[in-house]
Amino acid sequence: MTFEMVLEDAKLMANICSIISAIVAESSVNIAEDGIRIKAFDATRISMIDFFLKKEAFKKYDVKENAILGLSLETLNTILKTAKANESLRMALDDKTKRFVIEFIGKNQQRKFALSLIDIPEEGNIPDSIHIDFDTNFEVKASFIQQVLKDAEMVSDYLRIKAKEDGIYFGAESDTKEMDTFIEPKSEEMDTSAFQVAGESEAVYSLDFLSNFLKGIRSSDYVRLSFNQEQPIRIVYELEDKGHLIYFVAPRIEESEEIEEYD
């Protein structure tokens, strides 16, 4: 085996894959000495996912050499959704068949799947990191922002976010309807210590792209949002001390723009 990894909680990877596969149908997965990485644009290049799960998150992490695997994340998600609460997850590469092995290990039972690898075209220009000095940074419970998105979806396809010193304003509007939500830094839904606003900022983002990421996050967890005037929004979901999911979405402007590397 080129590598073998065991996660004590199979549902952790199932939850992660459900979020990523809603954005990226297939991707290269980088298996390295320090952990697993996925970094990819969605098909429209309006959003980008940056996932890292460090080796310390695993019960066993045996990687003899770095490997880059092309996988259908949609198919992987279908398999991982069958994970049960009491199962651990073993992942490995079968050197003979060149297939990615997924094995659920429960009490007195095992379930095993094998996926063929696929060729992933090189996307090019995926930055190692996107450097933006954000004027607005705040952390809220996922349940709050999930409700904001549900409310906005009844009105429009886009969400407007405006930051002021007194709080964050969310809004959506159409020819016949409008929706407005305001949250103060002292709200119990927000981490007051993480609220930072350096001047007013306002931008508009696609609800579809925001929802694809946020709907899969546990409602009790916090997410960190950062944005500037008419620049990409960054959403960070910390996987406790195990790693992170970072998501960038380009703003809606007169002409659609792709995510670029901002220095």
pTM, to two decimals = 0.91
Q: Is residue 261 part of a domain?
A: no
Query: Greatest CA span in the chain, whole angstroms?
Result: 61
Residues 104 and 148 in one domain: no
- The β-bridge partners of 224 are 139, 236
Residue 46 φ/ψ, nearest 5 degrees: -90, -25
Same domain (yes/no): 210, 238:
yes
Q: How far apart are CA 93 and CA 101, in angstroms?
A: 6
> Mind listing the pLDDT tens digit of every residue in the chain (263 residues)?
679 999 999 999 999 999 999 999 999 999 999 999 999 999 999 999 999 999 999 999 999 889 999 999 999 999 999 999 899 999 999 989 999 999 999 998 999 999 999 998 876 666 666 677 899 999 999 999 999 999 999 999 999 999 999 999 999 999 999 999 999 999 999 999 999 999 899 999 999 999 999 999 999 999 999 999 989 999 999 998 899 999 999 999 754 445 555 44
Report yes or no on 26 lying in a domain. Answer: yes
Residues 140 and 112 in one domain: no
Q: Are residues 108 and 147 in the same domain?
A: no
Number of domains into which the chain is organized: 2
Put residue 147 in one of left, alpha, beta given phi > 0 → left and psi -120 to 50 → alpha: alpha
